Every structure is written in C-alpha cells, then in structure tokens.
Amino acid sequence: MPHSANFPAATFRSPPAELSPLATFIAARATVERQWPTMLTVVLTALAVAAIYVLTAQPKYTATAELYVDTHKVQLLQSQQTLGVEAPIDPSLIDSQVEILKSEAIARAVIKDLNLLDDPEFSGPPGGLAGGAVAFIERLMPGAPPSQYALTRQAVTRFAKALTIKRLGLSYVIEIGFQSTDPQRAARIANAIADAYGADSLESKYRSSRRAATWLQDRLKELRVQASDAERAVVDYRADNNIVDAGGRLMNEQQLAELNSALTSAQAARAEAEARAKRVEEIVRAVDQQGISAETATVTDTLHNDVITRLRQQYLDLAEREADWATHYGPAHLAVANLRNQMREIRRSIADELRRIAEAYRSDLDIAKSHEETVKQELASLVAQSNQTSQAQVTLHELDANSQSYRALTDNFLQLYMVSVQQQSFPVTESRLITEASPPLHPSSPKLWLTAAIAVFGGSLLAFAAATFRELADRVIRTAGQIEDALGVECLATTPFAKPSSDDGGFGEACDWQARTFASDDRLLSYALDSPLSHFAESLRAIKMAIDLRSLDKPNKTIGMTSALPNEGKSTLAAALARLMAQGDATVVLVDGDLRNPNLSRRLTPFAETGLVEAILGEVALGEAIWWDPMTSLHFLPAVGAARAGRTSDLLSSPQAEAVFRALRNAYDYVIVDLSPLALVVDVRATAKLIDSYLFVVEWSRTKIDTAERALSAARQIHGEVMGAVLNKVNLKAMRRYDGYRGARCGKRYGYVD
C-alpha cells in the first residue's frame, strides 16, 4: 500500500566525485540490502563448490621434522676463528641451506633410497576425482609406456610439490614438511630428506677438501720457488746499484733539502734587490724626464745617506732664506737670484747622488742573480743524481714488495693446506636432526574449516562484485534520491502502487450527460477520500502542500501534470489529487490537456461531445463544456476533439487557449491539467504560457534515468517551472531494500491504515 511522501534522502544514488569513508560504508550497505538475494545465491554456490571439493578430494597427511644448522663447525678456505669465540651466522647462509634442501639433488637421492619410482603416488595417475578422470582418459587412449627419464621427472615434480621447507622465525632451525596420502610414508620421507641432506653435506665437504688439498699442495711448491727468487732479486739489485740504507734515509736526500732551502733564500734576496733597483731607477727616470724635484725623491738608502741628508738640509735653509729675501727685497733682487742658483746646484748634486745609489742597487741585483743561478745549477745537478737513485730505489721497492707478497702467500697457503688435511681426516656435518618426523594422526588436507572460510570469503567477494555489477547496470529510477541527483528536481512525494479490485465499477457508468455530471467507483480515484489516513492520501496532501507553499512566492494556480512516457500514472494521479483538493473549501477544475490521447476524458466522461478544443476554438462557451462531480464538487473540462489532434500544439499555444486558461484561473482556486508525455509529443512545451508549475511523474522501477533526463532537457521552455517530481506506483516492500525506509513500519503510530 502507499507510504509517506517525505522520505529521508535515498542511499541509492549516483556517487559523488569523492566519497567519505562513512558515505562509502553507507553505499556498500545499501547495495547489500538491495542485492542480498543475488549475493546469497553466489555465496551458496561457492559453498557448494567447496563442499564438492571436500567430499571428492583425497585426504593427505603432513609429517614434519626439524633440522638445526650450525655453520660454525666447518668453515672451509676461510680464516680460522679464535678458540672460544663464535661469529654470528649470516642469515643468508640459512636461506641457502633451505634452498639446498629444496634442490633436485636431494629429491633424487631420497627417491632412489626409498624406491619411490615404484610407488603409485609418484609414478601413477593423480589421486582424487581429477586423477580418476585422467586415469580413465589414459585407459581410453593407450600409448607407449613412459620412459625411465619421464617417470623420474614426474616423481621429482610431485616430490617438490609435496615438500615444504621453511625457516622457523629468526632461528637456525629449518622445518622439513612432506605431504602424502599415507602418514607412514610422509614421516619416512621427511626423515629421509634430513638424512640425505647430511650425507650430501658430508660428501660435498670431503670432495671440496680433497680438491682443495691437491690444489694447495701444487700451489705451495710454486709459491716457495717464487718467494726464493724474489728475495734473491732484492739482494742482487741493492749490490748492483750501490744502494745503502743509512738509518732509513739516503745521503742525497739531505743535500737536496739543504740546497732547496738555500735556493729559497737566494730567490728572496734576488727579489728584494730587484725591487730596490726598480724603485730607484723609476725615481731617477722621473727626475731626469719629468722634472720632479730631486730633494723630494726618497728610497730607503737616501734616508741613511749622509751626503743626501746634508744637501737636503742646505737646500731647506736656502729655500727659507730665498723666501724671506724675496719678501723683503723682491723676487728679482740679485741676492735672491744667487740663492736660487745655489738651490739648483744642490738639486743637481742630490740627483747625482741618487744615480750613484741606483748603480749600487744594480750591482747588488747582479750579485743576487748570480748567486741564485749558482744555487740552481748545484740543485739541478743534485736532482739529476737523485733521480737516478730514486728510480733505482723504486725498482728496489717493487722487488721488495713482490718478495713479501710471495712470502705471505706461501704462509697463508701452508695454513690452508694444513686445515684441509685435517678436514679430510675428521669430516663434520653442519646440521643435526633435533626433531624426528612421526606419522601424523589427522589429515592436513583438505581442511574443512579453511576451505569453508575461503569459499565464504571468495564467494562474498564474487557476490559483492555481482551485486555491484547489477547496481551499475540498473538504470531505472527507484528512489527519491535518484530523482534529485539525476534530474535536478525535488521529489515532492512517493505514491504507492495500487491495483483496482475486480468489483470496481466502470469509469463514467454513472454519468449524466444532460446534467454534465460524472461519478466513478474507481478506487484509485476515490482511495484518498475513502482512506484519508492512508499513505496514498498523505502523499497527495504533501503535493498540495508543495503547491500552496510555492504560491507564496509566485502565482501558482495552474498545475500541469506530465511524465516522460505514457502509462506512468500521471492521469490517475492528477484526478486523485484534484478530487482530494476539491473535497475542501477550494474550487478545483481538472482539465484533460492530453489532446492526442484524452484517456482521462474517456474514463470520466465517455459521453462528452464538447470540451477543451471546442472551447479554445470558440465553438462552445467554456461553461457549457465543463462537467462536475456531485460527490466532491470537482469540475472537469474534457478533451474530445481527437479529430483535430494534428494541430494540438498550435491550439495550446494560441491566444485563444491563453484566454480559456485565464478564465479558468479567474474562476477557480486550482486548475489541475493532465498533459501529454514529454518524450513523445511537443504539446507540453506549447503550454509554457498556460501553466504556472509542472509536476513530473516518474514510475517506480520502470522509468529509466536516461529517458527522464532527455525528456526534461529537451523541454527547456518548461524546465525552470518544474516544481518537483512524484515517484509513482512504488512497491513499498521492495522500496525498503533501496531506500532504507522504515515509515511503513512506523506509520501505524500516526494512524496509517495501510
């Protein structure tokens, strides 16, 4: 039966760009609630497959043995550890032993020792249902018997599949597990693997030690000869090149150090003399060429030269006297001129003294250069002699290093040879069996609970994948949330699916065509009146409330009812809403605006001869075309002009149609118009000037999202005036799986009779 109009937001809707963890959980839970029959079927199928496997699989037993590996006992061709000190074992060594236990050499040794090639488990067909099928096919298609090599390869392959080798944590213990159909055989093979590993280890060590001893003995002979030759070469070379080691340092090395220090001092003296000579030459050149006063030119030696000092003092005295006399007697006085001549002579004398000093500086520079050149020649001669000695010493060092290397190699190889000889006489294995395998009491495969858990887990994943696929493939509208997300309009109400009973009266059977009255026993139209506390009636009241609230913002008297496709229940919903609204104090007129298919007129007024088309064309007065319901005072304007259906859109968009609807709007409080479907005809678009608001009816679980979207997007003229949508013909029981709605269970608390 019907349910409430105002649902909580639906969980089954197109996912947003980014889902929060809570939203993801809610969406997953909703998927499970909707698709639980499919998911249950998949999980049960997985359990059935698991049960078949458990019942048909051949039971197998696993025996385990534990092997302790200690690589400290023998370390061939490695440096010996100090007695009582043990270095930690490299974990990679234990991993290497694990791989050795898995090797084909160990498998072949066990197969040979236990004659496993004669065991049907290793040479016969596989066991279980699959093995029986393979054996049956082989009997039907006989061929040449397999070769010994093929049987061996088959046995090795099955042996490797049944073998499990693993290291226990970070310890030096290796667990050997073997699985077989016979518990006694499983234990026997597990212990045989440990024995074969020990025997292989001893044999490998013996062969390695023997090969090493033979090779070391030959190598020792060669090294002894080479060491003797190298020592003899060192002694002969020292004698031939007269190289005497005096305290670890040669004589020419000390002489080179002293000459190098002398050269440094000579270079410094030469640089100093060169700088002094250059400076005094610049001063002399400036005095001669640029006329600079000689008495102002200064170098270091002029400060300590008595002649220049005396001449400068005389010059200063004369300059002072010349200035005084020029003031008293005038610059042209004969005495003043004599003083100037004396000052000129003094400057000339100072310049001559500077030239003498420059000659002395040049002489010192020549002496410094000569001394430097002499030291350089002596150093070069000593360096040449030292190079010859150094080259000989380099060769001597090489010969000495070669001799020491041969001696060290000889000692190391001698020590290794002694170790290898000892190991041949006293071989020690690196492993010991600390836990012997015993026949298991219970089979290890198949494991009932593990198989069931895997079946449930895998079946659940497949079930959720199947449910998700069905969800993605489901493109019909089922919830109010889908309408709001996909169509962008508010879902005003959801009305339930109701099937009329067999004793319902026919439509229009109680019509009085002369008085233009109609009555109907159709329970779909009178259900809201007969059951005012039903969910269906509550949904219609929610629609009326939405219409009244919209009228607060704008005029909203004329309401158009349309849908995407026919048979979605818009006509029945329009009639039921109009009757509910007319039951109150408001005046309501129901207009059949579906001029192409006036189904509502055929149901309510099958004997009507005039209607909306005739009123628009002016053939009859509007009042003469209106019928009414005595029970609810609902007025009805039918549509009977089917012959003029070809120009219905022109009629609805004409000024005459506007005049008719204006008259209806003035005469009634509500004008409910049943329009044609949007996706099939264009008549609804022609009513943009006639209708204040539109209600878009969507049939639950039938109308496709794409169809509804295209229908609304194509009618852009009315899209902005769509007040909301109504989800019609809802199956309440199935709806709970898609919307999580509990209103049907809680509605009795508020007087619902459904």
Is the pLDDT higher at 484 or at 73? Answer: 484
d(CA 605, CA 531): 25
pLDDT digits (tens, 9 = 90+) for 64-121: 999 988 765 544 434 444 444 445 556 778 888 899 889 999 999 999 999 988 888 8
Over pLDDT 70: what percentage of the chain?
77
d(CA 635, CA 605): 12
The per-residue pLDDT of the chain, averaged, comes to 79
Q: Binning pLDDT at 50, 70 and 90, where does residue 592 land?
A: very high
Q: What is the pLDDT of residue 545?
A: 94
- Closest by CA position to 536, among listed 576, 593, 506: 576
Q: What is the pLDDT of residue 133?
A: 59
pLDDT above 70 for 8: no
- Whole-number Cα distances in Å, 742 to 11, 498, 730, 745, 747: 14, 20, 14, 5, 8
578 within 8 A of 525, measured Cβ to Cβ? no
Q: What is the pLDDT of residue 752?
A: 58
pLDDT above 60 for 644: no
Q: Binning pLDDT at 50, 70 and 90, where does residue 303 land?
A: low
Task: Please report where in the chains the tokens 């004669």 appear, as a residue.
Answer: 118
pLDDT above 60 for 376: yes
Cα Rg of the chain, angstroms: 60
Q: What is the pLDDT of residue 4?
A: 36
Return the minimum-mean-pLDDT range out of 182-196, 286-300, 426-440, 454-468.
286-300
pLDDT above 70 for 153: yes
Q: What is the pLDDT of residue 5?
A: 36
**Mean pLDDT of the region 568-586:** 90
Q: Binning pLDDT at 50, 70 and 90, where does residue 637 land?
A: very high
pLDDT digits (tens, 9 = 90+) for 251-294: 566 667 777 788 788 788 878 878 877 877 777 777 666 544 55
- Closest by CA position to 593, among listed 565, 561, 618, 567: 561
Q: What is the pLDDT of residue 235?
A: 76
- Whole-number Cα distances in Å, 689 to 22, 307, 367, 395, 653: 46, 130, 124, 115, 8
**Mean pLDDT of the region 318-339:** 83
d(CA 443, CA 287): 122
Q: What is the pLDDT of residue 616?
A: 92
Q: Binning pLDDT at 50, 70 and 90, where does residue 593 land?
A: very high
Close Cβ partners of 437 (under 8 Å, ≥ 6 residues apart): 63, 64, 65, 176, 178, 186, 187, 188, 190, 191
Q: What is the pLDDT of residue 299?
A: 53
Q: What is the pLDDT of residue 503?
A: 45
Return the minimum-mean-pLDDT range out of 133-142, 183-192, 398-407.
133-142
- Closest by CA position to 516, among listed 587, 601, 616: 601
Q: What is the pLDDT of residue 544?
A: 93
State whether residue 600 is helix, strand or coil. Answer: helix
**Mean pLDDT of the region 642-658:** 80
pLDDT above 60 for 642: no
Which ranges in 117-243 belong to alpha helices (H)? 120-123, 128-140, 148-162, 183-240
pTM of this structure: 0.49
Is the pLDDT higher at 3 or at 746? Answer: 746
550 within 8 A of 723, measured Cβ to Cβ? yes
DSSP string of 417-468?
HHHHHHHHHS---SEEEEE-----SS--BS-HHHHHHHHHHHHHHHHHHHHH
pLDDT digits (tens, 9 = 90+) for 311-326: 778 888 888 888 888 8
Close Cβ partners of 704 (under 8 Å, ≥ 6 residues apart): 475, 476, 477
pLDDT digits (tens, 9 = 90+) for 533-563: 678 888 899 999 999 999 998 889 999 999 9
- Please provide residue 730's backbone torsions phi and psi, each rounded to the nearest 5 degrees: -80, 135
**Mean pLDDT of the region 722-729:** 93
Q: What is the pLDDT of residue 332?
A: 82
Kind plus residue range of the DSSP H or E element containing 173: strand 173-180
547 within 8 A of 556, measured Cβ to Cβ? yes
Q: What is the pLDDT of residue 361?
A: 78
Q: What is the pLDDT of residue 508?
A: 45
Q: What is the pLDDT of residue 517?
A: 81
458 within 8 A of 46, measured Cβ to Cβ? yes
Q: What is the pLDDT of residue 178?
A: 93
- Written as six digits, the tokens of 383 are 């360096």
CA quadruple 71, 76, 77, 80: dihedral sign: positive
**Mean pLDDT of the region 477-501:** 82
Over pLDDT 90: what percentage of the chain?
22
Q: What is the pLDDT of residue 750?
A: 56
Q: What is the pLDDT of residue 16?
A: 46
Q: What is the pLDDT of residue 253?
A: 65
Kind plus residue range of the DSSP H or E element containing 650: helix 648-652
**Mean pLDDT of the region 389-403:** 73
Return the minimum-mean-pLDDT range out of 357-366, 395-404, 722-731.
395-404
Q: Binning pLDDT at 50, 70 and 90, where does residue 424 land?
A: low
d(CA 213, CA 219): 10
